[in-house]
Amino acid sequence: LGGEKKKKRRSRWGGDEKEKTFIPGMPTVLPANLTKDQEEAYLVQFKIEEITRKLRTGDLGIPPNPEERSPSPEPIYGTDGKRLNTREYRMRRKLEEERHSMITKMISLNADFKPPVDYKPPMTRVSD
């Protein structure tokens, strides 16, 4: 139905119907009666755990099909001639940054929050 009108693009849904990702201790079904604050805090924590899982497992979400990947920036090479800004490196940096902002937010919501063990706050650049 309507298949002719435009080229079939790829859906944002990943995997098939049986492919589910579960994070221990973080259910994906929430009760309907949460307050806005409870819901927000849960989703921030969920995001932190979700990113932590990606970083730990290396399941970074890089599309296997190169045509679906975003354009690469100009390569930057290290002194050993190896490329520094690889896709994996850039993806990890992006995830680390997102996780950092979520952790900062979580600490503002709950002072007792314990960040994941593999989390290091980014180094603050000292300007002179």
Partner 1 sequence: PGFNLAAGPGQPTEVLCLLNMVTPEELRDDEEYEEIVDDIREECNRHGAVRSVEIPRPLEGVDDVPGVGKVFVEFLSVSDCVKAQQALTGRKFANRIVVTSFYEPERYHRRDF
Contact between 27 and partner 1 (CB under 8 A)?
Answer: yes
Subset of 4-23 contacting partner 1 (CB under 8 A): 9, 11-15, 17, 19-23
* CA atoms within 13 A of residue 104's CA, in its CB half-sphere: 8
What would the two tokens of residue 13 be? 């849904």
* CA atoms within 13 A of residue 103's CA, in its CB half-sphere: 20
Number of Cβ within a 10 Å radius of residue 51: 22
Contact between 24 and partner 1 (CB under 8 A)?
Answer: no
Q: Hey, CA dihedral for 112, 23, 57, 21, is it positive or negative? A: negative
Contact between 46 and partner 1 (CB under 8 A)?
Answer: yes
- Asked if 69 and 89 touch (Cβ cutoff 8 Å), the reply is no
User: Quick one: which segment of 44-52, 64-72, 73-81, 119-127 binds partner 1 (CB under 8 A)?
Assistant: 44-52
When binding is defined by CB under 8 A, the residue of 5, 28, 64, 70 that contacts partner 1 is 28
- Asked if 34 and 42 touch (Cβ cutoff 8 Å), the reply is yes
- Rounded to a whole number of angstroms, the minimum distance from the CB of residue 26 to partner 1 is 8
Contact between 43 and partner 1 (CB under 8 A)?
Answer: yes
Contact between 82 and partner 1 (CB under 8 A)?
Answer: no
Contact between 100 and partner 1 (CB under 8 A)?
Answer: no
- Cα(2)–Cα(45) distance, integer angstroms: 41
Q: List contacts with partner 1 (CB under 8 A).
A: 9, 11-15, 17, 19-23, 27-34, 38-39, 41-43, 45-47, 50, 61
